[in-house]
Every structure is written in C-alpha cells, then in structure tokens.
Amino acid sequence: MKRFFAFVRKEFYHIFRDKRTLLILFGMPLAQILLFGFAITNEIKNADIGVLDNSKDVTSLELINRIKASGYFKLAEYGNNTESIEESFRKGKIKLAIIFDRDFGKNFQLGKNPELQIIADASDPNTANTLINYISSIVMSFTHEKNINNKISLINTEFRMRYNEELKGVYLFVPGLITIILMLVSAMMTSISITKEKELGTMELMLVSPMKPYTVIIAKVIPYTFLSIINSAIILILGKFVFDVPIQGSLILLMAEIILFILSALSLGILISSITDSQQVALMISLVGLLLPVILLSGFIFPLENMPLWLQYFANIIPAKWFMIIIKSIMLKGSGITDIWLETLLLAGFTLVFALISVVKFKMRLE
C-alpha cells in the first residue's frame, strides 16, 4: 500500500512540475468559463445608432433621449441627410438608423399618425432582429405614455432591413465559415505539421540541408496556403450559386483580403509551432487559443456590443474580428478599400508582427 501511495505522490509531483499540464488543467477551464459566461448572451447593450431628425422638435428630441436612456443604444451619428446615414452604414459605424419625418412632433400633437422610419443593418440578422424588437418596445411605451393625456395618436413605424432584407442566416454563416475554415486549415494544420516534423526529428535534418531555414518553412506552408484559397473559393461558389449569398463588392479585393487573412493565420500557426514540441500541445493551443476566440469573439455568432468592455478590448487583438468586418462589408455592403482601409491595415499589421515573432522564436528554438 505504501508503494501505491508513493506512485500516486510521484504522479502529483509530475503534474505540478509541468507548467503546461497545470495550464491545461486550471487555465483552460478558467478561460472557458470567462469566455462562455460573458460572451454567450442574446442581450445587446450600447449598440451604435444614427439619427436623422428632420423634425427637430420637442417630441422627437424626447423620443431620442428615451432611446438613449434605455441602455440598449448609443448615439454614434447625428446625420444631416440620408447620404451621411448611408455612409455610416457602409463603413459599419452604426447598426441601426432612426429617421423622423419633417412634421413628426406637430402631427403627433394633433392626433395624426407621424412617420418614423427604422433602418437596421441586417448583415447580422440576429442582431438586427433584436435591435428592432428593442426599438419597437421603446416606441410603443413612449406612444402609450403620451396618449394618456393627449389625443390618441399612433406612430407609423416603417422597418427596413439593409443588406439582407429577408434576414437569411446564411448571409452571416458563409463569411463566418470562411473565417473558421481558414483558421483551421492555415493555422492549426500548419502548427501541427511543423511540430510533427520536430517531434520525429526530421525538422533538424531539413535545417542542416543546403536549403535556408526560412525556405524550409515557406515550403511547408505553401501547400496550406493553396488549399486555403481553394477552400475559400469553394465556399464562395456554393454560397453564391446554392444559397444565393451576394458578392456586392469587388471579387479581386475580396480574394486579396482572403489571402491576407490566410497569411495572418499561417503566421499564427508558425508561431504556435515555434513554442511547442508535440502535436498534442500544438493542437490544444490551437483549439483553445484560436478556435474558441474565433467563434466567440469575432462577431460571428455573438455580437461584441453586449460583452464587457475588457472583453471587447481583448477582441481587438484577434485578427478574425477584423476579417469578419472586411468580408461582410465587401460581400454584403459592396464596400471598397476606402471603407475598410483601417481594418485591412490592422490585419496586415497582425500578419507582420506574428511573422516576425515566429521567425525569431523559431530560430531560438532550433539553433
């Protein structure tokens, strides 16, 4: 029995001395409960909206203040004309726009039915539906409260969905699937492939060959680059001709952005392989460090606006978030490079930083 407990004690020593095992045992559950607990919620707060107030009277101002005070919306754009609202939609600055007719307050006070137009960005249909429900509830509450002491007047609310009038979920899932598949093929498979060579001892043999180390790495990642481009093309073709997902913008720009994201994912894969020595560890880091953040913090399924501020800041360092904005803007909104230059620049910056770090780390581990 004493020998048995000695073996048990030995196993505890092995576990507590291995930092990677401790990280998996305690770090992964902690990270998952924080991510899932804060990210998975259908409630949306502080959604950016734009207002075009053609009436500019006490009633319209009161309704605007009521909407802002609800906590669900944040006024990001006070437009002067429909063109400014349209530009804000195209650049992704607002999720919803409220347009008052010219005699909104006057008609409301006279018992007539004033016009109120609500336009939602339906490139994310779930978010658009939720925001429409919020705004409808606020308008109904406002109308009921005002009609207690005034003439009976209803607000004729017209709802419009931009970029996805039928609220098809596939409009969101096609860009999201491209993002996830590119991350899986480019980053995860690259990291596992390189660590497999290191685990078998063949990487050192290749590095002592006449080929330069960077040439070996490039030769390893080119097949995954090619396969990622093929996968992206297949998804785009199926989305277009089977599910009728539009590609409103430039196809050349779209493919250029896809290749840029592939390079970013490949850089991440090389970085993971440079700090790991086994396929299992590389797979675990890829799943926890890449796949979960891509699904939860890229805006693919759960809107970032309803997450805590610290988690929104953390999402900014995830390349998939910026790629999701880029690909949805090009495919659904017809945006050009002038509308997505900042996101493109950030994605290029991530690619450069990851590539430089991975090259430095790779040389340190193998020289």
Q: What is the pLDDT of residues 39-85, one digit of tens each?
A: 566 677 788 888 988 888 888 898 889 998 888 888 888 877 888 88
Q: What pLDDT is attached to residue 364?
A: 46
Percent of the chain beyond pLDDT 70?
A: 81
DSSP assignment of 105-169 equals: HHHHHTT---EEEEEEETTSHHHHHHHHHHHHHHHHHHHHHHTTTS-----EEEEEEES-TT--T
73 HSE (CA, 13 A, CB side): 30
Question: How would residue 297 be classed by pLDDT, with cut points 50, 70 and 90?
Answer: confident
Percent of the chain beyond pLDDT 90?
A: 11
At 88, is the secondary structure helix, strand, or coil? helix
- Last-in-domain residue among 162, 180, 207: 162
Any domain includes 17: no
Any domain includes 158: yes
Residues 243 and 206 in one domain: yes
Question: In sequence order, what are the residues at sequence separation of 6 or more whose Cβ sits closer than 8 angstroms to the Cβ of residue 31?
Answer: 288
Range in 11-25, 46-60, 91-105 with the lowest mean pLDDT: 11-25
What's the rounded mean pLDDT across residues 306-324?
A: 84
Any domain includes 326: yes
Q: d(Cα 184, Cα 266) in Å, to the nearest integer?
A: 10
Q: What pLDDT is attached to residue 205?
A: 63
Q: What pLDDT is attached to residue 253?
A: 93
Q: What pLDDT is attached to residue 256?
A: 93
Q: d(Cα 235, Cα 214) in Å, to the nearest integer?
A: 31
Any domain includes 336: yes
Q: Token pair of 296, please?
A: 């939860």
The pLDDT tens digits for 227-281 are 888 888 888 888 888 888 888 989 999 999 999 999 888 888 888 877 777 777 7
Which residue range(s) make up the domain with 145?
Answer: 47-162
Any domain includes 301: yes
Are 235 and 181 in contact by the 8 Å Cβ rule? The answer is yes
At residue 138, does pLDDT exceed 70? yes
Residues 312 and 193 in one domain: yes
Residues 57 and 184 in one domain: no
Within 10 Å of residue 13's Cβ, how many Cβ atoms?
Answer: 10
Range in 14-23, 139-148, 173-182, 223-232 with the lowest mean pLDDT: 14-23
Q: What pLDDT is attached to residue 4?
A: 65
Question: How would residue 204 be classed by pLDDT, with cut points 50, 70 and 90?
Answer: low
Residues 215 and 342 in one domain: yes
Q: CATH no. for residue 88?
A: 3.40.1710.10
Question: In sequence order, what are the residues at sequence separation of 6 or more whose Cβ sits closer than 8 angstroms to the Cβ of residue 127?
Answer: 44, 47, 95, 121, 303, 305
Residues 182 and 109 in one domain: no
What's the rounded mean pLDDT across residues 202-213?
A: 63
Any domain includes 22: no
Number of domains comprising the chain: 2
The pLDDT tens digits for 298-309 are 877 777 777 777
Residues 249 and 334 in one domain: yes
Q: What pLDDT is attached to residue 182?
A: 84
Question: How would residue 89 be classed by pLDDT, with cut points 50, 70 and 90?
Answer: confident
What's the rounded mean pLDDT across residues 21-41?
A: 61
pTM of the model: 0.80
The pLDDT tens digits for 331-366 are 988 888 988 999 999 999 998 998 888 777 765 445
- Last-in-domain residue among 113, 132, 162: 162
Residue 268: burial class (beta carbons within 10 Å; 0-12, 13-18, 19+): buried
Are 51 and 77 in contact by the 8 Å Cβ rule? The answer is yes
Residue 242 to residues 188, 235, 294, Cα–Cα distance (Å) = 28, 10, 25
Residues 139 and 269 in one domain: no
**Mean predicted lDDT score pLDDT of the chain:** 80
Q: What pLDDT is attached to residue 343?
A: 92
Residues 105 and 253 in one domain: no
Residues 149 and 202 in one domain: no
Residues 150 and 192 in one domain: no
**Per mean pLDDT, which of 90-104, 206-220, 287-301 is the most reliable?**
90-104
Residues 174 and 152 in one domain: no
Angle at 52 between CA 48 and CA 58, to 5 degrees: 105
- Last-in-domain residue among 162, 186, 208: 162
Residues 150 and 176 in one domain: no
Any domain includes 5: no
What's the rounded mean pLDDT across residues 276-292?
A: 75
Q: What pLDDT is attached to residue 255?
A: 92
Any domain includes 39: no
